[in-house]
Amino acid sequence: MTTAREIMTPQAYTVSDSASLVEAATLMRDHGVGALPVVSSDGALTGIITDRDIVVSGVAASHDVGAVAVGTVTQGIVSTVSPDEDVDRVVRVMGDQQIKRLVVVEGHEILGMISESDLARTVEEDKIVDFVKQVYGRS
């Protein structure tokens, strides 16, 4: 059985919900990622922000991205799995929820993230096809 721990990208970089969109974008650029888990001042996972969120909710909305806090554009809903979760369930969760990134947590500690590229590198082709149909095939 392959687990989430085996396919995740470890070392998930996080951003504070009070950080600006510019700070989040800078972290994404510096670490070569397109999404960051968002944490509150006490370290609790409160959401996830993507590069698309920054563009749509910040730049395209003509906001001052240096003044807008990350927490104001995240939806506060973030899906997680444990590191010991079976990869079949990981694919099912991501497909059912039409999400491209999944945070791996143990207790309250963020261990890593699973992205579609992690799936593509490690999951059987037929499961990837099903995932892609679920995420991109719905209207």
Domains of the chain: 4-136 (3.10.580.10)
Which position has the higher pLDDT, 12 or 83? 83
The widest CA-to-CA distance across the chain, in whole angstroms, is 47
pLDDT score, position 46: 93
Instruction: Please report which helix (H) or strand (E) contains residue 129, including its range.
Output: helix 125-136
**Above 70 in pLDDT, residue 64?**
yes
Token digits for 79?
A: 């899906």
In one letter, which amino acid is 98? Q
Can you spell out the DSSP letters for 58-121?
IITTT--TTTSBGGGTS-S---EE-TTSBHHHHHHHHHHTT-SEEEEEETTEEEEEEEHHHHHH
Angle at which helix 87-96 crosses helix 125-136, to 10 degrees, equals 20
Do 116 and 100 touch, CB atoms closer than 8 A?
yes
pLDDT score, position 123: 87
pTM confidence score: 0.87
pLDDT score, position 63: 76
pLDDT tens profile 94-116: 988 989 999 999 998 999 999 99
pLDDT tens profile 21-38: 999 999 999 999 999 999
pLDDT score, position 25: 95
